[in-house]
Chain A
Amino acid sequence: MTWAALVHVVISGLATGSIYALMAISLVIIYNATRTLNFAQGEMLMISTFVGWTALRVVAAPLIVALLVAVIAAALLGWLLERLVIRHAISATHFDVLIITLGLSLMLRSAAGVLWTHDEFPFPSFFGNRPFAIGPVRVAPVSLGIIGASLALMLALGALFRWTRLGRAMRAVAQNQRAARLMGISVERVYSSSWVIASVVGAVAGVLIAPVVFLSSKMGLVAINGFTAAVLGGFGSMPGAVVGGMLLGVLENLAPLYLPASIKHSVPFLIMITILLVRPGGVLGRVARRKV
Chain B
Amino acid sequence: MRSAALATGAALVVGWPWAAPRYFVFLASLIAINAIVAIGLNLLSGYTNQLSFGHAGFLAIGAYAAAILTIRAPAVPVPVTLLLAGLVTAVVGLALGVPCLRLEGLYLAMATLAFGFVVVEAILSLDWLTRGNDGLRVPAARLGPWVLATDIARYYLVMAVTALLIAAAVNISRTRTGRALLAVRESEIAAQASGIHLAEYKTLAFVVSAFYTGVAGGLFALVVGFLSPDSFDVFLSVDFVAMIIVGGLGSILGSVVGAAVITTLNDSLAGLQNYRPLIFGAILITSMLFMPGGIASALGKISGVRSGPRQGEDR
Show the binding face of A for B, using Cβ within 8 Å.
36-37, 85, 88-89, 92-96, 98-100, 102-111, 113-114, 224, 227-228, 231, 235, 262-263, 265-266, 269-270, 272-273, 276-277, 280, 292
Contacts and interface: CB of A to CB of B under 8 A. Distances in A.
A272 B106 CA distance: 13
Given A95-B105, A96-B292, A102-B238, A272 B281 contact: no
B115 interface: yes
Interface residues of B, number: 43
A106 B238 contact: yes
A270 B275 contact: no
Contact of B114 (A99, A103, A269): A269
Contacts of A105: 281
Nearest to A235: B107
A269 B111 CA distance: 8
Contacts of B115: 269, 273
Contacts of A276: 102-103, 107, 110-111
Contacts of A262: 121, 124-125
A100 B111 contact: no
Contacts of A113: 274
Interface in B8-41: none
Contact of A280 (B51, B102, B118, B125): B102
Contacts of A265: 117, 121
Given A107-B285, A269-B115, 19 more contacts: A89-B288, A99-B284, A99-B288, A100-B288, A100-B289, A102-B238, A102-B241, A103-B281, A103-B284, A110-B276, A224-B110, A227-B110, A262-B124, A266-B121, A266-B122, A269-B121, A270-B118, A273-B114, A276-B110
Contact of A95 (B51, B102, B276): B51
Contacts of A93: 311, 313-315
B236 to A, nearest CB: 13
A292 B189 contact: yes
B110 A103 contact: no
A263 B121 contact: yes
Contacts of B105: 94-95
7 contacts: A36-B106, A89-B288, A107-B285, A266-B121, A269-B115, A277-B99, A280-B103
A272 B114 CA distance: 7
Nearest to B313: A93
Contacts of A227: 110
A44 B277 CA distance: 16
Contact of B111 (A98, A102, A273): A273
Nearest to B249: A95
B245 interface: yes
Contact of B278 (A85, A107, A224, A263): A107
Contacts of B281: 102-108, 110
A92 B315 CA distance: 8
Contact of A104 (B109, B124, B285): B285
A292 B311 CA distance: 19
A113 B314 CA distance: 36
A273 B49 CA distance: 20
Given A92-B288, A266-B117, A107 B282 contact: yes
A95 B189 CA distance: 18
A272 B121 contact: no
A92 B241 CA distance: 17
B232 to A, nearest CB: 15
A272 B124 contact: no
Interface string B256-294: 000000000000000000111110111111001100100
Contact of A110 (B114, B241, B274, B284): B274
A231 B110 contact: yes
Nearest to A109: B277
B66 to A, nearest CB: 24
Contacts of B289: 85, 88-89, 100
B113 interface: yes
Nearest to A107: B281
Contacts of A100: 284-285, 288-289
A18 to B, nearest CB: 21
Interface string B290-315: 00100000000000000000010111
Nearest to A292: B189
A266 B311 CA distance: 34
A228 B117 CA distance: 14
A228 to B, nearest CB: 8
Interface string B187-207: 001000000000000000000
Contact of A94 (B106, B238, B245, B275): B106
A250 to B, nearest CB: 19
Interface in B64-99: 99
